A = this chain, B = another copy of it.
Amino acid sequence: MDTRSKSDSAPTIYDVARRAGVSIASVSRVLNDRDNPRPVTRDKVMKAIAELGFVPDGAARALSSRLKHVVGVVFRRVYGTDDGGTFADETESLLFGDQINRGIEIAAGRRGFDLLVCSVNIDERTLPNRILTIAGKCDGLILHDQVLSTAGLETIARTTPVVTLAGQPGMDVANVRSESADSMRELARHLVEDHGYRRLAYIAGHADSPDNVVRGRSFTEQAQSLGAEVLTGPAWQGDYSAAGGVEIVRGLISLGASLPRAIACANDQTALGVIYALAEHGFDVPGDVAVTGFDDLPFARHLRPQLTTVRQPIQEIGARAFEVLHSMITADASSPAGPPAEIVLPTRIVRRESCGCPAEPTTPRLWRPIG
């Protein structure tokens, strides 16, 4: 009669209680670190737990306490333009996304939450279902850039707290993003006024990305208002990937187009590809063409020329997203106020060499494109 419950399957709270000679309620109390159990009781329980190698079941816990202590994160596994190999691995590393997730995870850990991650392909047909399955496994969801349509978003937000990243705030959806307009205007001003460039271009990211739209518009309007020319059109449509940047420059050059004096890119990865392709064709950066990025990923300062870009507090974005989500999860029934519609984090332009500014004297550099 002893074998029944301590058989092959994992021990439960009942096994612990029996072994310790107490009720499951007492076991639960020491498990949750309540202070009622007497030291004696506590010790008996602890001993039984250790002997049995007992691990409380998270599902049962969650069901009972109505909190899973898990937040879900969904992001796109993008496969960028294929340039034939040089940047083939790039999209697998997802620099930006991974770093945001790290920020979320660290913030979550501080509150006893863990991260359920789920990368999806843009073309996935079962996406809505995937996301619902995820939603069922967590207390709230953080959705990266454009993984769901606005409609899909509103649907899921009816029952699950949702925070989007670089998206648009909605009825029940909070959004966290970083400031783009001011910094892009400042960048345009810098290129036009400080460096005197008169012919510029902006290489766009995904057309459906709000950040991209704002960056392109702010940059263009500011440059034009200062009397500079800004090249536009489908030839300048990138996809946030280095391979995309390479392809655009190669295309332009093979068409015999005359390049602008400066190219502002939607993000650092695009700038990386652009600099690569320019170097490949013998153009000097910034001598012939100045190039700028956005994000300030770690590699930006190791590039040669060092990349002038706009610094986003990447991990901070993740951390803030978690905090907002956490407040939505816990507030839920109590607080009548809705979630903060939007959190906007500050950015700042980082002038390095690729725009034409002098090199920072202090930082030695690791890499440079072939000349």
Binding site for B on A (CB under 8 A): 8-11, 53-63, 68-70, 72, 77, 85-86, 89-90, 92-95, 98-99, 101-102, 105-106, 109, 112, 114-119, 130, 132-138, 155-156, 158-160, 272, 275-276, 279-280, 298, 302-304, 315, 333, 363-370
Contacts and interface: CB of A to CB of B under 8 A. Distances in A.
Nearest to A118: B114
16 contacts: A10-B160, A53-B156, A53-B158, A54-B159, A55-B159, A56-B136, A59-B60, A59-B63, A69-B137, A85-B363, A86-B364, A93-B98, A102-B119, A114-B116, A279-B366, A303-B367
Contact of A8 (B61, B92, B333): B333
A53 B156 CA distance: 7
Nearest to A61: B136
A98 B94 contact: yes
A155 B70 CA distance: 24
B364 A367 contact: no
A58 B136 contact: yes
A28 to B, nearest CB: 13
Contacts of A105: 117-119
A253 to B, nearest CB: 14
B115 A58 contact: no
Contacts of A272: 366
Contacts of A369: 365-368
Copies of this chain, whole number: 2
A370 B359 CA distance: 13
Looking at A156, A272, A366, the one whose CB has the most chain B CB atoms below 10 A away is A366
A196 to B, nearest CB: 28
Given A94-B98, A115-B118, A119-B102, A136 B55 contact: yes
Nearest to A369: B366
A45 to B, nearest CB: 15
A92 B298 contact: yes
Nearest to A95: B93
A161 to B, nearest CB: 11
Contacts of A69: 133, 137
Contacts of A155: 53
A102 B92 contact: yes
Given A114-B133, A276-B364, A280-B364, 8 more contacts: A11-B159, A57-B136, A58-B138, A59-B68, A59-B137, A61-B136, A115-B118, A366-B370
A111 to B, nearest CB: 12
A60 B119 CA distance: 24
A135 B315 contact: no
A136 to B, nearest CB: 4
A335 to B, nearest CB: 13
A89 B370 CA distance: 25
A369 B369 CA distance: 9
A304 B303 CA distance: 12
Contact of A114 (B61, B98, B137): B137
Contacts of A95: 93
A132 B137 CA distance: 18
A92 B315 contact: yes
A11 B109 CA distance: 29
Contacts of A134: 114
A233 to B, nearest CB: 27
Contacts of A279: 366
A10 B140 CA distance: 13
